[in-house]
């Protein structure tokens, strides 16, 4: 078998454990020096490949790899860029030009559904060109929406952070209950799927009086009147109501809540679903309203990782290299659930082309019939994924993520005109 170099790239939004996969890829590749030469990482994802902007990871010693695996964000940078299929192969040609210039025989692409599509298409493009390349994906997304895997690395840690946040904010707001009634709304990521919103239901642990009292997900059409009636019922019973809102909830006509126009002169109200929902409640029911938008905080909380999520991110990174060395082209390692309690899982192989551009949504069994909460079945599915903590080194009270030895690879090609 040939010996060649491996190129790793992040794609799309990053997570708290994306670097755990990167570190596992590097370690697994180093363990097979007879097959893999250098391990490069693209700076800023696929755009870095096009720009021939690569890091040589040989600068990472064991200490640096230990820091890398626990560091949130994408250590090498990422980007949102889809390889176009209608540019006369211009972008794809450039990718292979860079692969050839740096003797890349393995391409490991860490991303979501769109990136798995890219893995399948690069496999096909390599075959058309008779270029010796093995393409393997590494699943990653806080949205948990990749088809073909029981869960996605990155989701468990974001889910743990958000469930913890709702638990703690729930204790806060419960202590501030007044005669007027108050609501707390937390807006979480999820344009098309409610996995992260559903995760906050773990905070209540089955207690109907505990936060969150309402969970709004994109899979259930938003019914304003039914929602407000439930807010009122909860608030009259408890004095307050805590609500999780996925950013992508929509009205029956398909419009996003964030686009709601409330002014009689028709101006479009700015802001996201969280503030819109909080203001709607305030205007219609008169309650005191607060809203939280964790935004990037929910996907970068390295100080509060799920140990299960981290272990799975490591496992899929390592498995990707093993799959590549075994000649599995155009695939990605997937997580398979073997049991719920105790939670058991292993890693299987999924075809990247089969699932590309699909999107896994919450199944109907995970939604309460009225669309205003999720079921015990949803909690039972998510609970194991947030399990366990990961100790982080700290310095002066903050996580000590340290510095990374980012060594650039000398360019061999002429510049790329984007």
Asked whether position 378 contacts its own copies by CB under 8 A, the answer is no
Distance CA 157, CA 20 (A): 12
Sequence-distant (6+) residues with CB within 8 A of 62 are none
- Least spacing, CB of residue 309 vs its own copies, in Å: 10
Distance CA 73, CA 66 (A): 15
Choose one: 77-85, 105-113, 124-132, 329-337; the region binding its own copies (CB under 8 A). Answer: 77-85
Site map 119..158 versus its own copies, x via CB under 8 A: ----------------------------------------
Adjacent-strand bridge partners of 183: 241, 289
- Least spacing, CB of residue 388 vs its own copies, in Å: 6
Residue 263 CB-density burial (10 A; 0-12 exposed, 13-18 middle, 19+ buried): exposed
- Least spacing, CB of residue 217 vs its own copies, in Å: 20
Nearer to its own copies, 13 or 148 (CB): 13
> Is 191 labeled as ligand-binding?
yes
Q: Using CA of residue 162, residue 283, residue 240, residue 363, what is the dihedral sign?
A: negative
Contact pick of 130, 175, 252, 410 for its own copies (by CB under 8 A) = 175
Q: How far is CA 14 from CA 7, 65, 75, 267, 401, in A?
A: 18, 18, 9, 34, 16
Contact pick of 228, 256, 292, 406 for its own copies (by CB under 8 A) = 292
For 393-405, letters b (16+ CB in 10 Å) and e give eeeeeebebeebe
- Least spacing, CB of residue 69 vs its own copies, in Å: 14
- Which parts of 316-345 interact with its own copies (CB under 8 A)? none
Asked whether position 275 contacts its own copies by CB under 8 A, the answer is yes
Output phi, psi for 39, to 5 deg: -115, 110
Choose one: 57-65, 91-99, 219-227, 385-393; the region binding its own copies (CB under 8 A). Answer: 385-393
- For residues 385, 158, 18, 338, the Cα torsion angle rounded to the nearest 10 degrees is 10
Asked whether position 254 contacts its own copies by CB under 8 A, the answer is no
- Which parts of 2-41 interact with its own copies (CB under 8 A)? 10, 13-14, 16
Asked whether position 402 contacts its own copies by CB under 8 A, the answer is no
Nearer to its own copies, 33 or 397 (CB): 397
CB of 326 within 8 A of CB of 40?
no
Tokens of 326: 């075994």
Asked whether position 213 contacts its own copies by CB under 8 A, the answer is no
Nearer to its own copies, 47 or 216 (CB): 47
Q: Using CA of residue 220, residue 225, residue 226, residue 227, what is the dihedral sign?
A: positive
Residues marked active site are found at: 143
- Least spacing, CB of residue 44 vs its own copies, in Å: 7
Nearer to its own copies, 128 or 168 (CB): 168
Contact pick of 269, 336, 337, 406 for its own copies (by CB under 8 A) = 269
- Least spacing, CB of residue 360 vs its own copies, in Å: 22
Distance CA 105, CA 145 (A): 29
Asked whether position 397 contacts its own copies by CB under 8 A, the answer is yes
Which of 123, 117, 124, 131 has its CA nearest to residue 81? Answer: 117
Q: How far is CA 314 from CA 276, 285, 287, 289, 309, in A?
A: 39, 48, 46, 41, 9
Residues contributing to the annotated binding site: 13, 113, 141-143, 189-191, 247, 296-299
Q: For binding to its own copies (CB under 8 A), which residues are involved? A: 10, 13-14, 16, 44, 71-80, 160, 163-165, 167-178, 184, 202-203, 205, 263, 265, 267, 269-271, 275, 279, 290-297, 299-304, 306, 308, 383, 386-389, 394, 396-399, 401
């Amino acid at each position: 078998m040939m010996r060649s170099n491996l190129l790793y790239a992040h794609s799309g939004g990053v997570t708290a454990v994306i670097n755990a996969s990167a570190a596992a890829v590097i370690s697994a590749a180093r363990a097979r020096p007879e097959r893999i030469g250098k391990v490069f990482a693209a700076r800023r994802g696929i755009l870095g490949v096009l720009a021939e902007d690569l890091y040589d990871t040989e600068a990472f010693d064991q200490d640096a790899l230990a820091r890398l695996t626990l560091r949130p964000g994408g250590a090498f940078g990422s980007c949102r860029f889809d390889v176009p299929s209608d540019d006369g192969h211009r972008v794809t040609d450039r990718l292979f030009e860079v692969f050839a210039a740096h003797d890349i025989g393995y391409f490991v692409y860490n991303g979501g559904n769109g990136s798995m599509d890219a893995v399948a298409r690069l496999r096909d493009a390599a075959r058309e060109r008779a270029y010796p390349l093995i393409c393997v994906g590494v699943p990653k997304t806080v949205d948990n929406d990749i088809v073909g895997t029981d869960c996605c690395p990155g989701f468990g840690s974001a889910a743990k952070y958000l469930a913890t946040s709702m638990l703690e904010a729930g204790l806060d707001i419960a202590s501030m209950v007044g005669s007027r009634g108050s609501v707390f709304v937390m807006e979480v990521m999820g344009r098309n799927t409610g996995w992260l919103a559903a995760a906050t239901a773990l905070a209540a642990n089955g207690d109907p009086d505990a936060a969150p009292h309402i969970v709004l997900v994109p899979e259930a059409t938003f019914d304003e009147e039914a929602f407000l009636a439930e807010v009122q019922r909860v608030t009259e019973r408890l004095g307050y109501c805590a609500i999780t809102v996925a950013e992508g909830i929509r009205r029956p006509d398909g419009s996003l809540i964030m686009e709601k126009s409330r002014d009689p002169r028709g101006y479009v109200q700015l802001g996201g679903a969280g503030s819109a929902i909080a203001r709607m409640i305030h205007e219609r029911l008169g309650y005191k309203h607060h809203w939280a938008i964790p935004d990037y905080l929910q996907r970068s909380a390295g100080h509060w990782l799920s140990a299960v999520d981290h272990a799975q991110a490591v496992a899929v990174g390592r498995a990707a290299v093993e799959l590549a060395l075994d000649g599995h082209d155009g695939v990605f390692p997937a997580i398979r659930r073997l049991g719920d309690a105790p939670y058991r899982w292993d890693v299987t192989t999924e075809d990247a082309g089969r699932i590309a551009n699909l999107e896994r949504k919450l199944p109907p069994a995970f939604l309460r019939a009225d669309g205003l909460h999720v079921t015990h079945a949803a909690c039972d599915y998510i609970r194991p994924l947030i399990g366990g903590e990961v100790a982080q080194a700290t310095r002066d009270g903050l996580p000590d993520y340290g510095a990374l030895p980012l060594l650039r690879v000398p360019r061999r090609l002429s510049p790329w005109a984007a």
